A and B are shown apart, each in its own frame.
Chain A
Amino acid sequence: MGQTVAEQILSHRAGKTVKAGDFVVVEPDVVMSHDSLTPGIIKILRQELGMEKVRHPERLVFVLDHVAPASTVGTADLQNQVRRFAQEQDVRLFDVGRGICHQVLVEEKIAAPGKIVIGSDSHSTGYGSVGAFGTGMGSTDIALIWATGRTWLRVPETYRVIVEGRFPPGVDAKDLALKLCREITIDGANYMAVEYHGLDWMPLENRQTLASMAVEMGGKAGIVPPFGVAAEHFSTPEWLSIDPGAQYARTLTVDISSLEPQVSKPHAVDHVVDLSDVAGTHVDVVFIGTCTNGRYEDMKAAAGLLAGKRIAKNVRLIVTPASSRELARAAADGTLTALLEAGATLTTPGCGMCMGRHQGTLGEEDVCLSTANRNFKGRMGSPNAQIYLASPAVAAATALTGAITDPRGC
């Protein structure tokens, strides 16, 4: 019988053929944790499991990105604890300023096709952008992997998304990701892997946008099969393929050739409408960043609209590059200058204000349009703040006017 990509990867690592619904115990290839949770995982390892050493330090990766650099004495002390632990145990650590975990692991090719990457973070689905099985788990599960090298999983059913056509001008992968949340809804892919077909033409950064948002539909993984134009980034194992005989629990076909810019309204990711429904809504803060849309191409799309202009008087435009490498690319070709001259505030590569902890936390009355992946109440600061989600182009057009604006008219 044919296999989905998730079944192929889990079978390969389990050393036997498994199918949706089976339970497997596997050794993950990579175990990522970030500054926000690593201190707690260390505590579980030591206090609950009574262990001092991690089993396979070479499989672990720490990234300090969630509060970067530290904002309080408490976070500074905990980060130092993580640095010490990494040194003691010989674990790779990417320190503050290097970037968001999901971006860094892709850039460093630590996440790679056919690998199982478990992260202490729900957006670990993003590793599916390179054809890995990426999924998020809680701290206790991660501590158990540190201790044993293994974890157990239920092999997910797969939700196949077939994409037809190409984006019209002014519309991009974020609009597609939001459109999928709109169609599939916030739990429509709960417990499933989402497998995206028809995207051989799609560049890596767009695949990252899509895969990171698979979890917003409940997805356990979001996998773009690692073939096509992005192939330069991958070395795909020969056992991995799109199997014509695979069984999919559900299939959705989307034609993107007439897709309109999409906007998600407060306070749930699947409250998605065509931009025209909310055009003109007043906005105070525009945020360009996160593992979903903080890359060079995102900054470039924004700079294309902002170059030579100034943002509206009462708008704060905060740009947080997803990584130091993406920031360097933006600095090298004038993209960054265009953003800064237009009035943008630049912050350290990392998660920035995505979780409302620093670098732009929203107040009571703030209305924010963000390129992030989540707009839950209170996510970015005050529970009374309003968060809209959209593409980088919509973000830039909105920064120019101070109201939600269609980039195609700019």
Chain B
Amino acid sequence: MSTVWKFGADVDTDQIVPGRYAPYMRPDADVGEAAFIEARPEFAKNAQAGDVIVALENFGCGSSREYAVEALRRRKVGAIIALSFARIFYRNALNLGIPLFESPEIVAALQDGDEVTLDIPNQRVRLGEKSYLLPELPVFAREILEAGGIVPYVRMHGRFPEEE
């Protein structure tokens, strides 16, 4: 089972990992421990591998800092489901292989603390008796995620997505 961590709109990258917790500032620390360290300390303490982040509009706005995504990857976040994502965050998350979906239906259905089953191969999230369909991803996004991120993708294909 995965726990749902629900957030509001416009969660910025300073909330995900404040600049003061960047690897540059703390080269010996695990940036995963800094995930939501100030905005949601219970997440920093208790989030488990496979947990699901659910949020309203514009998740990940602000800085280009990939270490915000890296922190979530280290925490092995199973998926991020939001109404929408900020541009750089979306790209960084695909690049590091974190599945992310835009689904108003699932965002409305899932509440903070819900226990769900996340089944990405079958595009499903199950909450109790109910099962929700994860939306189809754009082709490039699906391919990058299937490869495990952009680096393995480029190594595997020898080209960028959509490159002839």
Residue ranges of A at the interface with B (Cβ–Cβ < 8 Å): 23, 25, 35-37, 39-40, 44, 48-49, 66-67, 72, 74-75, 77-78, 119-122, 124, 136-141, 144, 148, 150-152, 186-187, 190-191, 218, 220, 268, 355-357, 361, 374, 376-379, 381, 383
- Residues of A close to B159: CB separation below 8 A: 25
Looking across the interface, which residue of chain B has its beta carbon closest to that of A41?
B66
Q: Give A147's nearest chain B residue, CB to CB.
A: B154
**A-contacting residues, B110-141, CB 8 Å:** 140
Looking at chain B's contact residues, the main secondary structure is loop
- State A186–B58 Cα separation when bound (angstroms): 8
Q: B10's contact among A40, A151, A268, A378, by CB below 8 Å, is which?
A: A268
With contacts A121-B64, A187-B84, A190-B87 known, is A150 near B160, CB below 8 A? yes
**Residue pair A74, B58 in contact (C-beta under 8 Å):** no
Rounded to whole angstroms, the CA-CA distance of A374 and B24 in the bound complex is 20
Asked if A23 contacts B88 (CB within 8 A), the reply is no
Residues of A within 8 A of B76 (CB): none
C-alpha spacing A231/B109, complex, angstroms: 54
Total A-B Cβ pairs within 8 A? 138
Q: Provided the pairs A39-B24, A40-B23, A356-B19 are in contact, do residues A152 and B92 lie with their beta carbons within 8 angstroms?
A: no
Q: Are B15 and A67 in contact (CB under 8 A)?
A: no
Q: Would A190 and B38 count as touching, CB distance under 8 A?
A: no
In the assembled complex, 10 residue pairs joining A and B whose CB atoms fall closer than 8 Å, in A order, are: A136-B64, A136-B88, A140-B95, A141-B92, A152-B160, A187-B84, A190-B87, A218-B61, A268-B10, A356-B19
Q: Is the CB of B91 closer than 8 A to any CB of chain A? A: yes
B90 smallest CB distance to A (angstroms): 9
Q: Could you tell me the distance between the alpha carbons of A187 and B67 in the complex, rounded to whole angstroms?
A: 22
CA distance in complex: A36, B23 (Å): 9
Q: Are A25 and B14 in contact (CB under 8 A)?
A: no
For the complex formed, measure the closest distance between the CB of B137 and the CB atoms of chain A, giving whole angstroms.
Answer: 14
Q: Is B143 an interface residue (CB 8 A)?
A: no
Cα distance A151–B14 in the bound complex, in angstroms: 26
A40, B87: Cβ atoms closer than 8 Å: no
Contacts of B62 in A (CB 8 A): 122, 374, 376
Mark B86-102 against chain A: 1 for CB-CB distance below 8 A, else 0: 11100110011000000
Q: Which residues of A contact B69 (CB under 8 A)?
A: 138
Which 3 pairs from chain A and chain B are nearest by CB?
A138-B66, A23-B162, A138-B92
Return the contact of B24 from the options A49, A67, A152 (Cβ within 8 A): A67
The answer to whether residues A152 and B162 also contact, given A187-B86, A378-B38 and a CB cut-off of 8 A, is: yes
How far in angstroms is the closest Cβ of chain B from A128?
15
Having A37-B66, A138-B65, A378-B38, one finds 18 other A-B pairs with CB under 8 Å, namely A23-B140, A25-B162, A40-B23, A67-B24, A78-B24, A121-B63, A136-B64, A137-B64, A140-B66, A140-B149, A140-B150, A144-B154, A220-B87, A356-B18, A361-B20, A376-B62, A378-B18, A379-B19
Q: With a CB–CB cut-off of 8 A, which chain B residues contact A379?
A: 14, 18-19
The interface of chain B, by Cβ under 8 A from chain A, is 10, 12, 14-15, 18-20, 22-28, 38-39, 57-58, 61-67, 69, 84, 86-88, 91-92, 95-96, 140, 149-151, 154-155, 159-163
Q: Which chain B residues border A381 with CB–CB below 8 Å?
A: 20
CB-based contact A218/B58 at 8 Å = yes
Query: Considering the chains assembled together, what is the distance between the CA atoms of A401 and B95 in angstroms?
Result: 48
CA distance A141 to B63 in the complex (A): 15
Q: How far is the CA of A190 from the CA of B90 in the complex (A)?
A: 11
Let me know if B151 and A140 touch, CB within 8 A: yes
Task: Say whether, besides A40-B23, A74-B27, A138 and B95 are in contact (CB < 8 Å).
Answer: yes
- Cα distance, A67 to B27, chains bound together (Å): 14
A356 CB contacts on chain B under 8 angstroms: 18-20
- Asked, given contacts A78-B24, A152-B160, A383-B38, whether A187 binds B91 with beta carbons under 8 Å apart, the answer is no
CA distance A383 to B16 in the complex (A): 12
- The minimal Cβ–Cβ distance linking A338 to chain B, given in whole angstroms, is 32
> Closest chain A residue to B19 by CB distance?
A355
Contact call B14/A376, Cβ cutoff below 8 A:
yes
Q: A136-B64, A140-B92, A187-B61 are in contact. Are A35 and B154 (CB under 8 A)?
A: no
Question: Complex formed: what's the CA distance from A124 to B64 in Å?
Answer: 10
Separation of A83 and B50 alpha carbons in the complex (Å): 40
Q: List chain B residues, Cβ under 8 A from A220.
A: 87
